[in-house]
Chains A and B, each alone.
Chain A
């Protein structure tokens, strides 16, 4: 029996360790200290987490981080990047674990998921006198919630219809013009769907699908009071019209799997002549495709053309212990000078009016007109706090609905019952 003493001691030790670990976890209330450090001379290091699609993009953000240090040598910004899809999973976990970076990048659609871990910036905007007048109003609105501003935007834009000018010419179809209607769109799509090619590429992803549904029905997937409304009959009817482009009218290719870049890839490869996309992808599509790119507003439904806008920016985590320095860094990163550089690189369509000209200089003919026309009717896309789940459910359950093996009414109804709260 004596032998069992060390063992019970070990058990006690394990139990003690577990409890202290649990206690350490339990004490996290989002007000811990993380995301940067201050040394003896008052130099501050600020962590900044951002998504990026590759080395070139990362370098562009690193240049912005370096600019902060150049503007104020006391502040050093440490950049870390993840792919866009992984970013929000990682950030949610980090905020929950109390180890969030100081500067948190956030997309307007995902604000609801992260805002409980973010600091309202209104006081800092006032005390540091940020010139909010220069920002596109929709861009600020997209990163605000319940009257509080949670992020300073760097890009924002309305969703547009991109089209393959060469393919339209080849098929002898007139290029879409401002003011075109849903009927014009379906007629063109039908005429372009020949020889194994398609007029349009549809996909049940939020930003690709809902601008079309909004134009058709006037409804967003989330009501003005922030409730998921996929059970809305008008929205469902519009959804069915959209899905029929694939399943019934066969003017868009059949979907398979869960590849969210499917529609873009079909468009870039020349298999589909039209696709819905935001201005942030425009210049990269222009450089990847070997055809002449065109852009026009979303086709008008019964009450005119409407579209959704979305954008991204930077917020400060609640656990950041140097919010003043973090805000100064964000001010530099979103300054006209920095945004003009990003715009010239084609990385982002700037949220500042004063930085948009370099972007237009790089874009194809007609891009400016299309963007301005779409921007005039764009509404910021509303989302719910569990939008990450809603978004992935839309793709998962939406694929068979698009292919015509189930109805949009059933699909939307099911997601509504699973995700409405």
Chain B
């Protein structure tokens, strides 16, 4: 804003001789056109994004049942949430899920994309295959994984053949989260794989060739050429994956229902249940804002620390 208002008169100066009015009307008509073109998306943004966001903020300060009287509770919902062991548990579960899922997802996608990049043939085919779980409806994926995990399912069946007693993955509190993370990594790594593959393919071949001629080994090339070159993509993948990981819902909702006990109940599942099973809409809105705050802080931290490891100057 401030730079525009100071530079604008400077630009007008050479045209001193001309009529200033025509200049102004040109700018006016530009603004009109801009308004007309921007209107549809502005209205859409307002109606479908801004209003619901403001609305949910307002609701979070109310005791807002589906039926009956609403009453202002101030920060009552927030203090009730932060004081409830149930809510602390679901936040912890979400953090545990993220801490397990994010590194695994990045490791698998990065490892596979580096491996695929070295192949002579079938690169595209492999990328498509690994991307299939991402585009398959998650309900279908979950159905298949249920059959893999359940007692007398695929894993248990193989275990019986070999004579090993397999755990009840979805019914055992010690295994449910691991089962959930494994399924989620399988389902989700394909997206980051594509991002990394594109980044690796765009590294100029001359860099690696020059390094090879100088006698640099594959690990050193990966460490000092590939990693820095794809670090912007890694930053993008880490940030986006982290955000969606904190919002994980479909997998626990469909695979375990948050159980056994509260072992796989995540933040968004909790918010959904508060809102649509318990009809405590104010509490659900407050939970959503807590989630927003957590994501905001973590994303801000990531942007702060990216300077330490992301290389843009190539």
Contact = CB atoms under 8 A, between A and B. Distances in A.
A254 interface: yes
Contact of B170 (A10, A14, A256): A256
Interface residues of A, number: 43
A258 B277 contact: no
A386 B265 CA distance: 19
Contacts of A18: 50-51, 54-55
A270 to B, nearest CB: 13
Contacts of B265: 396
Contact of A389 (B35, B170, B278): B278
Interface in B69-95: 70, 86
Contact of A93 (B86, B169, B276): B276
Contacts of A396: 257-262, 265
A376 interface: no
Nearest to B50: A14
B148 to A, nearest CB: 11
B4 A3 contact: yes
Interface in B272-287: 273, 276-279, 281
Given A257-B257, A397-B259, A400-B261, A392 B273 contact: yes
Contact of B259 (A3, A21, A113, A395): A395
B238 interface: no
Given A397-B261, A399-B260, A403-B172, A257 B146 contact: yes
Nearest to A403: B171
Contacts of B256: 257-258
A259 interface: yes
Interface in A1-44: 1, 3-4, 6, 10, 13-14, 17-18, 21-22, 25-26, 30
A92 B260 contact: no
A255 B168 CA distance: 8
B232 interface: no
Contacts of B70: 26
A400 B260 contact: yes
Contacts of A89: 276-277
Nearest to A254: B151
B277 A1 contact: no
A254 B169 CA distance: 11
A275 B172 CA distance: 23
Given A388-B277, A396-B262, A400-B261, A22 B1 contact: no
Contacts of A3: 1, 4-5
A22 B261 CA distance: 38
A4 B2 CA distance: 11
Given A14-B46, A406-B261, A256 B168 contact: yes
A165 interface: no
A153 interface: no
B66 A93 contact: yes
A25 B5 contact: no
Interface residues of B, number: 45
Contacts of A92: 66, 276, 279
Contacts of B42: 10
A40 B172 CA distance: 63
B67 interface: yes
Interface string A241-260: 00000000000011111110
Nearest to B279: A92
A102 interface: no
B228 interface: no
Nearest to A396: B259
A257 B257 CA distance: 7
Given A258-B256, A403-B171, A389 B277 contact: yes
A95 interface: yes
Contacts of A14: 46, 50
Contacts of A13: 46
A4 B149 CA distance: 59
A367 to B, nearest CB: 31
Contacts of B261: 396-397, 399-400, 406
Interface in A329-366: none
Nearest to B175: A256
Interface in A87-126: 89, 92-93, 95-96, 113, 116-117
A129 interface: no
A55 interface: no
Given A399-B171, A403-B171, A403-B172, A1 B5 contact: yes
A392 B50 contact: no
A95 B31 CA distance: 44
B300 interface: no
Interface in A356-415: 386, 388-389, 392, 395-397, 399-400, 403, 405-406
B86 A418 contact: yes
Contact of B273 (A6, A113, A389, A403): A389
A277 B34 CA distance: 64
Contact of B173 (A10, A117, A400): A400
Contacts of A403: 168, 171-172, 260
B66 A254 contact: no
B155 to A, nearest CB: 11
Nearest to B53: A18
B198 interface: no
A253 B150 CA distance: 11
Nearest to B142: A257
B255 interface: yes
A27 to B, nearest CB: 12
B1 A95 contact: no
Interface in B112-166: 146, 149-152
Interface of B: 1, 4-5, 31, 35, 42, 46-47, 50-51, 54-55, 58, 65-68, 70, 86, 146, 149-152, 168-173, 255-262, 265, 273, 276-279, 281
25 contacts: A3-B4, A6-B31, A10-B42, A17-B46, A18-B50, A21-B55, A22-B55, A26-B70, A89-B276, A96-B65, A256-B146, A256-B170, A258-B259, A386-B278, A392-B257, A396-B258, A396-B259, A396-B260, A397-B259, A397-B262, A399-B171, A399-B261, A400-B172, A400-B173, A403-B260
Given A258-B258, A397-B262, 18 more contacts: A3-B4, A6-B35, A13-B46, A17-B47, A17-B50, A17-B51, A96-B281, A255-B168, A256-B151, A257-B149, A257-B150, A257-B171, A258-B256, A258-B257, A399-B260, A399-B261, A403-B172, A418-B86
What are the 7 A-B residue pairs with the smallest beta carbon separation, nearest first? A258-B257, A96-B66, A116-B67, A256-B171, A396-B259, A256-B170, A400-B260
